[in-house]
Amino acid sequence: MKILHFADLHLGVENYGRPDPATGLSTRTNDILRVLDELVDYAIDNSVDLVLFCGDAYKNREPNQTHQRELAKRINRLSGSGIPTFLLTGNHDLPNAVGRATSTEIFDTLAIENIYVSTKPDIYRIPTKSGEIQVASLPWLRRGALLAKDDTKNLNFEQLNERLQEALTSIITMFASKVDRSIPAILAAHVWVTGATTGSERSMIIGQEHTLLLSNIANPAFDYVALGHIHKQQVLGENPPVIYSGSLERVDFGEEADDKGFYVIDIKTDGSQHQRELSYEFHQVKGRTFLSIPVNLDSMNLDPTTTILEAIESKREQLSEAIVRLIIKMPAEIEGRINDIEIRNALKDAHYFTVSKDIEHEARVRLGNYSAEEITPVDALKMYLESKNTSEERTKLLLDYGERIVRGDDPE
């Protein structure tokens, strides 16, 4: 049995994009759809038994009709190819108000063949061409769905999180007691597991986050634990495998160095289905490149523009169609020597670029506890010369000249 696990599509992320004249969509929307097509092609070409999506289909809780249409096209391809697809509800899929539909609930409402949508904890028995599989689902749940108002009175955040952990752990324990051990079982959850390495999802948080411990979720009743919510793909445990597939496409520079893709899980049985052998492999997709080019300049640099152009040229192979940020760190006195037009021209092959100048201004000498109104010009000069470790002889000479200037004498 072959299962494909992915999550955090976030269709609708359009930062660093521009309108595509061919489709009318943002080029960043096209990026996400392109890697999703790559995933769907893989699933069909390799005859996977189940596609398991672990939440956050869209960036927004109320996606526009175009984004809904484009996702539906890909879901329909899987359905039409006879591949069961399981859609778990993530925090970005929840509506703003209780009682309103989630962004993926339409697939369940239309009863589309081979499509399963989970909006609440449950165990699904899904028939596949290689046999039956169980998916215990733990979608993102609002606090009100887990705890009564009376249970949350006068609790601080730590105490509240502890209560939420207990409630979620109780659900997982209940699942573990109910799954049929004779057939494969997967726990699919959209949760934040403590200890996971986080990425750009921190900037996309909606409301307060509750967390689970790895020990709460790594229950041996399951052959595999498929996670969504954290954007960095990572393996948290091995018995059973507890894995975040990560986001399918890079969202921002916080994910610049991250590989993006999906996991493929192979489950082999001995025929009687009482003993199973499981393996998994990460498959990387061809996502958009994010590229940072840092340049540090000093005050002695007589031709800073050339230095910057050389740094850009050193990344020429990666630059084409990449999303680039050029970060220039420099002292204030050389800013006027930089030719911005030449720099922008050198970056023209990038899909999108930004130029950030981190300008260092010379620190002003502090005058102790004196204000400008309280210190005389001569005393200020004296303190300045002391701060520069000026020799006693030269200090005396300069102070003498200073006093003459203040009095209006000709210093000769």
Q: Supply the CATH number for residue 265's domain.
A: 3.60.21.10
Same domain membership, residue 235 and residue 97? yes
Question: What pLDDT is recorded for position 260?
Answer: 97
| The model's pTM | 0.82
Residue where a domain terminates, one of 342, 360, 378: 360
Question: What pLDDT is recorded for position 207?
Answer: 47
CA dihedral 174, 178, 180, 185 (to 10 degrees): -30
Q: Which helix (H) or strand (E) holds 234?
A: strand 234-238
- Of 326, 245, 332, the residue nearest 290 (C-alpha): 326
Question: What pLDDT is recorded for position 198?
Answer: 85
Q: How far apart are CA 160 and CA 164, in angstroms?
A: 6
Question: What pLDDT is recorded for position 45?
Answer: 98
What is the span of the domain harbouring residue 271? Answer: 2-284
Which stretches of 82-139 are assigned E, i.e. beta strand?
A: 85-88, 115-118, 122-128, 131-138
Tokens standing for 372? 């400008």
> Running along the chain, 412 residues long, what does each successive block of 10 average in pLDDT?
97 93 93 98 98 94 92 95 96 78 82 91 96 95 66 68 85 96 95 86 56 92 96 95 97 94 92 76 97 95 95 95 96 92 96 93 59 70 86 88 75 52
Which residues pair with residue 328 across a beta bridge? 295, 357
Same domain membership, residue 315 and residue 180? no
Same domain membership, residue 144 and residue 74? yes
Same domain membership, residue 279 and residue 318? no
Question: What pLDDT is recorded for position 381?
Answer: 86
Contact indicator for 255, 231 with CB cutoff of 8 Å: yes
DSSP string spanning 14-37? -TT--B-TTTSSBHHHHHHHHHHH
Q: How far apart are CA 233 and CA 245, in angstroms?
A: 5
Same domain membership, residue 198 and residue 94? yes
Total domains in the chain come to 3
Residue where a domain terminates, one of 264, 284, 304: 284
List Cα–Cα distances, 407 to 63, 379, 402, in angstroms.
74, 14, 9
Same domain membership, residue 109 and residue 43? yes
Same domain membership, residue 138 and residue 240? yes
Same domain membership, residue 7 and residue 150? yes
Pairing of strands 192-193, 290-296: unpaired
Residue 158's Cβ-count burial label (10 Å; 0-12, 13-18, 19+) is exposed
Same domain membership, residue 150 and residue 19? yes
Contact indicator for 49, 128 with CB cutoff of 8 Å: yes
Question: What pLDDT is recorded for position 201?
Answer: 56
